[in-house]
Structure 1
Amino acid sequence: MKRNKRGFIVMLLSVVLLSMLLGACSSKESGTDSAGGSTGGSSAGEKITLEFWTIALQPTFTDYFNELISSYEKEHTNVKIDWKDYPYDAVTNKLLTSIASGKSPDVVNLNTEFASQMGSKGAVVDFNDFLTDEQKGAYFDGIYNSTVIDGKAYALPWYTGTEVLFMNTKLVKQAGLDPANPPKTREELAEWGRQIKAKTGKAGYAQQLVSKLLPIDGVSILSEDKSKAAFNTPDTEAMINNLKKLMDEGVVLKEDADFTKQIQYYSGEQVAFELAGSTFINFIKTSAPDVYKNTVAVPLPTGKGNLRLSNSMDVVVPVKSEHQKEAVDFAVYVTNAANQTAFSKAANTLPSTKESIKDPFFTQSDNTLEAQAKIASAQGLDKAADYMVGVPNAKDINSAIARGLQKIILNGADVKQTLTETEQEVNQILSQ
């Protein structure tokens, strides 16, 4: 389940080959749609094999999937599931090569970004053509809609995660604050940071200057049709000026702090808070066990956007599948509430299904930091959504916005002028 950054970049770079590769695929001899995939089911009694690909889940979860597959095959005696698991870095090339050869897998595990890129190229089926409203409604709306482009749903949400607020209770108490009544909004978090700074000399938290800061504060990065930049507004100016003020005051460390730096600052008790996913726990548990013991996790304070940004893994069905109907049925089975609940318990992940969150596993705590983070993260799933999905050249757009933020906040560039320049750069990227 490790999300390797290099593999993610390879995914985004590789997707530009999809149109060419799809065109190179030979059409099926019968029962095909315009994209070359079978739209019908198998004949009555016909034995079929569905090829199911996952990412980096063997051998840790081999027993879970063997049991899931066995249960499905018992209920569907004409279907055999051929499960293959690949490293994160390898799955993209294998998938693209498979599509080009005309021997596509039937059900594939991808992240939301790449699933949407595949969808925008017409390489995966639209689940809206297969699912009932009840089936679609089983998933959290924001997470399900993260892969909906122009009304077409290109993936089923699977396991996911959202950020929480980690607090050093020692520093919080030294500042005269009560960790049992944590901040609920970004404004309250800033006030806590000011008191931390005044009473302890420490900063509130470290921040990476990335594009997600805009939607967190209620600013749309692109227009509704994703054709042009939409962030050059007074609201964005106010958000940037506020962050710059917090950094000038020392409430937020004045630098572009990536995740590694944030771990260092929190481990060294240079900051009192960390805004991160549950993987952060593993790092501080190893690097700073005393800080780990003094840390609690609470729901992430919301900004004006009143949303939680999720980081989801999904399941797609390539259009080149020869058994689309059966593949969709298995994809729904893998991601239904019962199986998502079971997988979350085995893998300590969060589900994307509404019914799963009712399970005591997501509400009852043994007071460990891990349990606190899980519960706090689960509480934000109803507001969760991925962002910048289905956008061509999303990586370039995110980089352009990050550079603009750096120029303004770290280098003192004029806010209005830099926003206009960044807007022009993003519009140029979108026009390519």
Structure 2
Amino acid sequence: MSSTHRWPRWGLLALIGLALSWLISCSSPTPSNPASPTGAAGPVEIEFWTMQLQPKFTDYFNRLIAEFEQANPTVKVRWVDVPWAAMESKILTAVSANTAPDVVNLNPNFASQLASQGAWLTLDDRLTPEQKALYLPNIWQASTLNGKSFGLPWYLTTRITIYNTDLCQQAGISQPPATYAELANVARQIREKTGKYAFFVTFAPDDSAEVLESLVQMGVDLVDDQGKAAFNTAKGKAAFQYWVDLYQDGLLPREVLTQGHRRAIELYQAGETAILSSGPEFLSTIATNAPRIAEVSDVAPQISGETGKKNVAVMNLVIPRQTDQPDTALNFALFVTNDTNQLAFAQAANVLPSTQKALRDRYEENQAAAANSALEKARAVSASQMQTAEVLVPAMKDISVLQRLIYDNLQAAMLGEKTVEAAINDAATAWNQRHST
């Protein structure tokens, strides 16, 4: 089927959501471990899904599961690793067919789509205040919807600024930009002095939420307490105008409208942009693909707006409400995300943990090694942002629709098809019409 005949992803989710709301409310759990033919019950089995962590972390998870099973000899854990691109469709299908796993690794934005349909076990009454207090409070909030907790935080990543010191020096820039206001000045300076671009950020509606997050960093509220559009304000218009001006002044590559974050990495590796906003792990990719660029790369904290807010991307663990082993599933999820195991996985995967003690330990490790390489310095910068970093785009129903509406209208303004005022009005009106139906 050609791409022109594919349904938009958010439309498909909405349609499936209607079916799920009926199925979830009407279905009852199907035992995943029925008695054996002889009538003797076997060990309890729970199924655990992760996203694209094999084969790199196969040994880690095999050891983790063996340790849990040793401490819980009546429990068997069946681990299933799902490709990243397939997870959303597979979990939607599994939930609707009443065959969902007992513990599943998702991210809060997608998990919230199903949380709004009651798909996940709520955790507030199942956890003690002491258990909740182990996790970073700002990160815990990422897996809450309408005041109810639907997931346990797991591993984290956050953007930092990776910059090409050679290009910056050629343009007379001694320090990388810390704010979007500074970034606009740097973009002009680099373009005029070197003929290259300062950076690439995507406005492709189904790709990165970085532009949506930038609005929040500039002080824009996306929605109000009733879920209606709150971005049609003076600050919202100023944020729209910021991106429109950069594009129309020729300070952003033309393909920002159609290509995703992968293009940002390609351009930086080719020496065509001076700044890359990405995770520390991409320094290893740059070192492999473009060693000359890696040699002149340095790192700095994430660029933000007047709020000073920094983004964090969260991976969490959720427990389908259909499970017939809720206590065992929760015990396993708590085991995977405890201090010891979070720190071990953070070390193995070059990510950050979401428990307070593990993060402190990780930060101290990174600080001690920061002088050794740009990668270690990047990890230290990344960890230092975690105490105040937050999920900038709230977990809410139809968040992908909101991103599409804002990006589509912002693109129209960038191309001169609409004024900034008309673009932001149209986006707000379309969202409110959808929200009211």
Counterpart-to-counterpart distance in 2, 1:101 and 1:266: 44
Aligned equivalent of 1:200, options 194, 219, 222:
194
Deviation, 1:391, is: 2.5
Counterpart-to-counterpart distance in 2, 1:53 and 1:218: 37
Aligned equivalent of 1:154, options 131, 150, 157:
150
Change (3 A) 1:251 1:96: closer
The one-letter code sitting in structure 2 at the alignment partner of 1:207 is: V
Matching of residue 345 in structure 1 with residue 374 in structure 2: no
Change (3 A) 1:46 1:372: same
Q: How far does the alpha carbon of each residue in 1:182-211 deviate from its partner, in whole angstroms, 9 at most, with x for none?
A: 433333333433443454343322232343
Counterpart-to-counterpart distance in 1, 2:173 and 2:89: 51
Structure 2 unaligned blocks of 5 or more: 1-5, 32-40, 204-210
Q: How does 1:352-363 map to 2 (within 5 A)?
A: 352-359=354-361, 360-363=364-367
Deviation, 1:252, is: 4.4
Deviation, 1:247, is: 4.1
The one-letter code sitting in structure 2 at the alignment partner of 1:177 is: I
**What residue is the counterpart of 2:436 in the other structure?**
431
Q: How far does the alpha carbon of each residue in 1:363-389 deviate from its partner, in whole angstroms, 9 at most, with x for none?
A: 332543432332222222223333444
Deviation, 1:104, is: 3.9
**What residue is the counterpart of 1:131 in the other structure?**
127
Counterpart-to-counterpart distance in 1, 2:379 and 2:9: 28
Deviation, 1:153, is: 0.7
Counterpart-to-counterpart distance in 2, 1:279 and 1:410: 34
Q: How does 1:357-372 map to 2 (within 5 A)?
A: 357-359=359-361, 360-363=364-367, 364-365=369-370, 367-372=372-377
**What residue is the counterpart of 1:217 in the other structure?**
218
Matched-pair contact (CA < 8 Å) for 1:240–1:409: no
**What residue is the counterpart of 2:34 in the other structure?**
none
Specify the SS of the correspondent of 1:383.
Answer: coil
Specify the SS of the correspondent of 1:121.
Answer: coil
Question: Which segment drifts farther, 150-159 or 258-267?
Answer: 258-267
Question: Which segment drifts farther, 9-18 or 338-347?
Answer: 9-18
Specify the SS of the correspondent of 2:55.
Answer: coil
The one-letter code sitting in structure 2 at the alignment partner of 1:271 is: T
Change (3 A) 1:271 1:83: closer
Specify the SS of the correspondent of 1:105.
Answer: coil
Structure 1 unaligned blocks of 5 or more: 1-5, 30-44
Deviation, 1:426, is: 1.2
Change (3 A) 1:222 1:356: same
Specify the SS of the correspondent of 1:54.
Answer: strand
Deviation, 1:244, is: 3.3
What TM-score, normalized by structure 1, do the two folds share? 0.84
The one-letter code sitting in structure 2 at the alignment partner of 1:270 is: E
Question: Which segment drifts farther, 160-169 or 345-354?
Answer: 345-354
The one-letter code sitting in structure 1 at the alignment partner of 2:232 is: N
Which ranges of 4 or more aligned residues in structure 1 deviate by more than 6 Å? none
Aligned equivalent of 1:141, options 137, 140, 150:
137
The count of corresponding residues between Structure 1 and Structure 2 is: 408
Aligned equivalent of 1:60, options 56, 62, 66:
56
Percent identity between matched residues is 34
**What residue is the counterpart of 2:107 in the other structure?**
111
Counterpart-to-counterpart distance in 2, 1:88 and 1:270: 29
Matched-pair contact (CA < 8 Å) for 1:21–1:96: no
Counterpart-to-counterpart distance in 1, 2:49 and 2:272: 43
Question: Which segment drifts farther, 387-396 or 400-409?
Answer: 387-396
Matching of residue 50 in structure 1 with residue 52 in structure 2: no
Matching of residue 79 in structure 1 with residue 75 in structure 2: yes
Q: How far does the alpha carbon of each residue in 1:298-345 deviate from its partner, in whole angstroms, 9 at most, with x for none?
A: 211221232222222210111111121221121111111211110011
Deviation, 1:9, is: 4.6
Counterpart-to-counterpart distance in 1, 2:356 and 2:68: 22
The one-letter code sitting in structure 2 at the alignment partner of 1:127 is: L
The one-letter code sitting in structure 1 at the alignment partner of 2:243 is: L
Counterpart-to-counterpart distance in 1, 2:42 and 2:270: 63
**What residue is the counterpart of 2:238 in the other structure?**
238
Change (3 A) 1:89 1:195: closer
Question: Which segment drifts farther, 58-67 or 239-248?
Answer: 239-248
The one-letter code sitting in structure 2 at the alignment partner of 1:362 is: N
